[in-house]
Chain A
Amino acid sequence: MSEFKTVGALTIEASTPLCLLQDAGRFGVRHLGVTQGGAADWVSMSWANKLLGNALDAAVIEITLGGLSLLAEQDCCLSLAGADLGAMLGERPLAPWRSFFIRKGERLTFSQPVLGARAYLAAPGGFDAPQVLGSCASVGREELGGLDGMGKALAKGDRLSYPGSSFLLHALQDRQIPDLEDNSPLDVVLGAQIGQFSGSSLFDAFNSEWTLDSRADRMGIRLLGPELVYQGQPMISEGIPLGAIQVPPDGQPIVLLNDRQTIGGYPRLGALTPLSLARLAQRLPGSTLRLKPVMQTVAHQRQMDYLRVLQTV
């Protein structure tokens, strides 16, 4: 990538289709049918960047479920946040929520989930990647973003450069670390077609345990539980916000994530808050969760409070 001022680089030795360059995603282009993209767990992405003093939305590697191996070309300082995917730095285990030194020629590997689903690896100044429609977020289906600009996942032989250097080691304090084992209910801002579901379906939605289906990707996560019954008219397609909980005719809800389509015609209960969505993005198939209604104003205040924490620490 000759257009970037490179200070250091990493070489990918092994990868999977779920290891992707991501940032906060694409904005201002939703009316053209372009999906949002971006880190599924934006909280962990933000902390990974924060640990190096980067902009919170600088380009990071999103590693889902493991399978990534890379080599450092120089001595440098990187940071890791989010899931524990059994990371090893050479022969030593590497815990997330910290920055760390990696020596020239040293290998960093991610094997499989120990806790959570998605880890975020950041480098000083953010990884270099072409901006496509204002973002490097990788969306294979739309052929946008990533190292090649065409949405490809990271692959063996790819070289990831970064423009900064950092030699300060930081670790989050315990109270700052998001609790990936927190099983408290996820917050739903009620809205959209919620008034047109049957009364018993509304009761079920917020008083049942939901199981994450294996049909889960960056477009959406399907939940299994009681059948929810929509009683309204067939819908005309409309815009779909991040975190929307849509209910197709089989009555099993789907929470829509970053790579969702921009418009759709299934009725919705509302949308998860961004903080709850970040928690959901760390859940593995088979785990269970509950949903809880939250007022838009309350959710808004909590979001502002959290962003303030991220910005002022």
Chain B
Amino acid sequence: MKLRIEVVAIDCLMVRLFDVIDEANMPWMLAASARLRECFGAHLVDLVPSYTTLMVHYDLLALSPSQARELIDLAFTDLAPDPQARGQQHVLPVWYDLSVGPELTLVSQRSGLAVSEVIRRHSEREYQVFALGFAPGFAFMGLVEEILASPRLNTPRKRVAAGSVGIAERQTAAYPVVSPGGWNLIGRTPSKLFDRLRDGYSLMQPGDSVRFAAVDHAEFVRLGGDDTPLGVQL
């Protein structure tokens, strides 16, 4: 880890911890987030974690820029991540089917793997939640196996159904609500990913780990999934 602190706005400092995306970053990111929250206390407005960075937005009425830097220094003093540290673990049921995941074919052709093998490999791995962004509860997860990596669609869809599970490069994600999107869709989850009535709102939090579990159509519907086919809505 090579720690750098950069000014990014009047009341925001970027803490840069790493230069590459790696699951091995996560224990450091979790430990640093916890310590920053502790050190800033009520003076923290928001802490925005992403793959290699933590953006600290502090209350400028309470802290000067130099005081904020001092608190960051304090948070990183003797910071020792627990190598076993992990967030919550989730299992997301997914109905992998062409009607809701039309790019199953594309990923299969690109990789030379049978569709069943694509499904097996996508659901075999445990993924890290690197960051949430794009939409409330949209978790960027990775890394998917190199062989399944797929570039984003040239023309994003105007409308991707809620629950759609997709791949972009070596990342995977599920869309919490209907939105435009350019990821390669391979299935759909019935899980509610963002719920304003749930404690913590988002099912997945930065640092959590996630496994996808293939379910059949009957189980998907039983779990409350909407099986309306995606259609060609480019």
B residues within 8 A CB of A191?
Answer: 6-9, 14
- Nearest CB in chain A to that of B204: its residue: A32
Interface membership of B57, Cβ < 8 A: yes
CA distance A275 to B65 in the complex (A): 17
What's the nearest-Cβ distance from chain A to residue B138, in Å?
5
Q: State which of A55-63, A220-228, A235-243 sits at the interface with chain B.
A: A235-243
What's the nearest-Cβ distance from chain A to residue B47, in Å?
6
Interface membership of A141, Cβ < 8 A: yes
- A33–B134 contact, CB under 8 A? yes
CA distance A27 to B135 in the complex (A): 15
- B9–A32 contact, CB under 8 A? no
A residues within 8 A CB of B51?
Answer: 236-238
Interface membership of A34, Cβ < 8 A: yes
Interface membership of A270, Cβ < 8 A: yes
Interface membership of A172, Cβ < 8 A: no
What's the nearest-Cβ distance from chain B to residue A257, in Å?
13
Interface residues of A in 193-250 (CB under 8 A from B): 236-244
How many B residues touch A, CB cutoff 8 Å? Answer: 45
Interface membership of A303, Cβ < 8 A: yes
- Nearest CB in chain A to that of B63: its residue: A300
Interface size class on chain A is 35 or more
- Nearest CB in chain B to that of A143: its residue: B177
- B133–A237 contact, CB under 8 A? yes
Q: Interface centre among B8, B138, B200, by most A CB within 10 Å? A: B8
CA distance A142 to B176 in the complex (A): 10
- Nearest CB in chain B to that of A243: its residue: B9
Cβ-defined partner of B8 (8 Å) among A237, A270, A299: A270
A residues within 8 A CB of B164?
Answer: none
- Nearest CB in chain A to that of B65: its residue: A296
- B7–A263 contact, CB under 8 A? no
Q: Is the interface of A mostly helix, strand, loop or mixed?
A: mixed
CA distance A36 to B10 in the complex (A): 16
Interface membership of A307, Cβ < 8 A: yes
Interface membership of A252, Cβ < 8 A: no
| Known contacts A29-B201, A133-B196, A304-B60; is-contact A263 B9 (Cβ 8 Å) | no
B residues within 8 A CB of A133?
Answer: 196, 201
- A239–B45 contact, CB under 8 A? no
Interface residues of B in 43-64 (CB under 8 A from A): 45-55, 57, 60-61, 64
| Known contacts A32-B201, A133-B201, A262-B132; is-contact A241 B50 (Cβ 8 Å) | no
| Known contacts A244-B9, A263-B48, A296-B10; is-contact A33 B53 (Cβ 8 Å) | no
- Nearest CB in chain B to that of A28: its residue: B46
- Nearest CB in chain B to that of A308: its residue: B61
| Known contacts A238-B55, A239-B55, A304-B61; is-contact A30 B9 (Cβ 8 Å) | no
Q: What would be 12 A-B contacts, judged by CB atoms less than 8 Å apart? A: A29-B46, A30-B46, A31-B48, A31-B205, A33-B138, A192-B14, A236-B21, A241-B57, A242-B9, A274-B10, A296-B7, A300-B10
User: Which residues of A line the B interface, CB within 8 A?
Assistant: 27-34, 132-133, 141-144, 189-192, 236-244, 261-264, 268, 270-271, 273-274, 296-297, 299-300, 303-304, 307
